[in-house]
Amino acid sequence: MKSSNGSSNIEREVKLSVVTRHHQTCPICGGAGFLRKDVPVGHPEFGKVVACECQRPRLEAARLNDLRAMSNLEAMSRFTFETFKPEGVGLTEEKRHNLRSAYEAARAFAANPQGWLVLLGGYGCGKTHLAAAIANEQLILGRPVLFVVVPDLLDHLRATFSPHSTITYDRRFENVRNVTVLVLDDLGTQSSTEWAREKLFQIFNHRYNLRLPTVVTSNCKLESIDVRIRSRLMDPDLVRICHITAPDYRSSGSEMLGYELSSLELHSDQTFDTFSLRERELTREQVENLEQVLTFARNYAANPEEWLVLTGGYGSGKTHLAAAIANARRAMGDHNVLFVVVPDLLDHLRATYAPDSHVSYDTRLEQVRNAPLLVLDDLGTHSATPWAQEKLYQIFNYRYNARLPTVITIADGVNVDERLKARLFDVRHCTILRLNVPSYHGQTAPPTVLPPRRKRR
């Protein structure tokens, strides 16, 4: 069928298509989408093909899709600042202040991402929640962001070597290194292969040199992180470090910190008020010794710092004072005290190997190692097997290096592994108090009978 001007509809549609294609063709690349750089022969980029400017929207969309796929933030959409509890649950005033400070630092970073924010703390203290809240806030504000767990990040990089990968390694690596805001969760949990260390260093070093906004969370001590990365994480001109001291918020009540370990309830009557100075039983020097130890224990309970080692004979009052410290902290509202007899502690660790154990060995060990205040009663009464000695050394060494408040009771004459002694009796970080009194049996000495006075003549 002909139109009024003599041209068929088909001819007009073909002409329109040609005109449209002509206007859509990029004047730079002529529609090819790629260009070769105009550089002399011998230049490192001679012959290298690069994307044309006309491809920028498509490449940016592909980059954002790759970031979204790696982030999986849909599954973490519930982690926002509104759902975070900055006051915690059952925390002391000091820990509430600490948690709120980290919360406010995260909110400030989310509103204006600059520099680096490093969130450190134990399992379940809220690090990942705050990091995901920062990432979710960036999505709301329309900023490109990548939230990824470090081991998963390395897996994503390895996956690009597969022949079925839809993205090249170089493209994915650049997406990670240059994303506007990068949030790396659980640094230190990755396998420590040479390849993994090198890839992480390249990412950290690139973002460090360009001062790109970055958030890092870790439950590791900075001392255990690759020294090259650690040096960048500790730059005060770029990095703000928040140490979160709150315990696992996912547990509460008797389950917090694995309190099935604790035997403090059996010592609920052992307080500072019920501690007897035994004035009618002991010598003046012995009473003064008890008074001094009692005063120090009270002060320690008010502000637990470093280690306190209580020594003395059996029945001298060591356990009473150790329990009194723990009970005093509980009375102050601090429910993060773990009181455990050493042989019982080792039994609890062994029990995790049972097929029906409801908790893993690693979780149980971390609960003990990271307890905000740990009271270990009767060190030296455990079976001295190599396994037991090794487990205790791991706990002691960790808490010693981390300077975590610890109270230990040990009776005179017991044998202790030399490695433990080196930490127990380091007077730079440990206060050693000896109770120089005999065993207490709840009896008072009979009244002294004085000889009758002679009558004066």
In 28-112, which ranges are E strands?
34-36, 49-51
**Cα–Cα distance, 365 to 287 (Å, whole number):** 39
378 sits in which H/E element: strand 373-379
| pLDDT (0 to 100) of residue 423 | 86
CB-CB contact of 430 with 309 (8 Å): yes
| pLDDT (0 to 100) of residue 38 | 73
Distances, alpha carbon 237 to alpha carbons 104, 117, 231, in Å: 19, 12, 12
Both tokens assigned to 260: 């099935």
CB-CB contact of 89 with 256 (8 Å): no
368, burial (CB in 10 Å: exposed 0-12, middle 13-18, buried 19+)? buried
Q: Residue 255: is its pLDDT beyond 90?
A: no
Give the mean pLDDT of the chain: 83
3-state secondary structure of 228: helix
Parallel/antiparallel/unpaired status of strands 49-51 and 34-36:
antiparallel
Mean pLDDT, residues 251-272 taken together: 69
| pLDDT (0 to 100) of residue 413 | 82
**Cα–Cα distance, 378 to 216 (Å, whole number):** 40
Mean pLDDT, residues 425-431 taken together: 88
Q: Residue 21: is its pLDDT beyond 60?
A: no
Domains 53-244 and 253-435 share a fold: yes
**Cα–Cα distance, 238 to 212 (Å, whole number):** 10
Assign 375 a pLDDT band (cuts: 50, 70, 90).
very high
C-alpha dihedral sign at 43, 47, 51, 53: positive
Q: Residue 65: is its pLDDT beyond 90?
A: no
**Cα–Cα distance, 432 to 416 (Å, whole number):** 15
| pLDDT (0 to 100) of residue 427 | 86
When the candidates are 3.40.50.300, 3.30.830.10, 3.40.50.11740, 3.40.50.920, the CATH number that belongs to 53-244 is 3.40.50.300
Q: Residue 442: is its pLDDT beyond 80?
A: no
| pLDDT (0 to 100) of residue 62 | 56
| Of 218, 77, 176, 200, the residue nearest 135 (C-alpha) | 77
Phi/psi-derived region of residue 378, left when phi > 0, alpha when psi is between -120 and 50, beta in every other case: left
3-state secondary structure of 9: helix
**Cα–Cα distance, 92 to 329 (Å, whole number):** 9
Q: Residue 175: is its pLDDT beyond 70?
A: yes
Assign 19 a pLDDT band (cuts: 50, 70, 90).
very low
Mean pLDDT, residues 252-262 taken together: 52
C-alpha dihedral sign at 244, 247, 249, 250: positive
**Cα–Cα distance, 257 to 335 (Å, whole number):** 9
Q: Residue 2: is its pLDDT beyond 90?
A: no
Mean pLDDT, residues 330-342 taken together: 86
| pLDDT (0 to 100) of residue 253 | 39
CB-CB contact of 337 with 363 (8 Å): no
**Cα–Cα distance, 317 to 430 (Å, whole number):** 19
Q: Residue 201: is its pLDDT beyond 90?
A: yes
Assign 292 a pLDDT band (cuts: 50, 70, 90).
very high
Task: Look at domain 253-435 and name its CATH class.
Answer: alpha beta
How is 160-229 classified by DSSP, letter by letter? TTSTT-SS-HHHHHHHHHH-SEEEEESTT-S---HHHHHHHHHHHHHHHHHT--EEEEESS-GGGS-HHH
| pLDDT (0 to 100) of residue 30 | 67
Mean pLDDT, residues 408-427 taken together: 86
**Cα–Cα distance, 88 to 95 (Å, whole number):** 8
| pLDDT (0 to 100) of residue 93 | 84
Both tokens assigned to 454: 């002679």
Q: Residue 231: is its pLDDT beyond 60?
A: yes
**Cα–Cα distance, 421 to 423 (Å, whole number):** 5
Mean pLDDT, residues 367-377 taken together: 91
206, burial (CB in 10 Å: exposed 0-12, middle 13-18, buried 19+)? middle
Mean pLDDT, residues 264-285 taken together: 91
Q: Residue 15: is its pLDDT beyond 60?
A: no
108 sits in which H/E element: helix 93-111
Assign 227 a pLDDT band (cuts: 50, 70, 90).
very high
Assign 92 a pLDDT band (cuts: 50, 70, 90).
confident
Condensed to tens digits (0 to 9), the pLDDT of residues 115-129 reads 999 999 987 789 999
Both tokens assigned to 133: 């809240």
Domain ranges of the chain: 53-244, 253-435
Write down the pTM of the prediction: 0.49
If one compares 82 and 255, the residue with the highest pLDDT of the two is 82
| pLDDT (0 to 100) of residue 266 | 86
| pLDDT (0 to 100) of residue 324 | 96
In 225-332, which ranges are E strands?
239-244, 307-312
Assign 453 a pLDDT band (cuts: 50, 70, 90).
very low
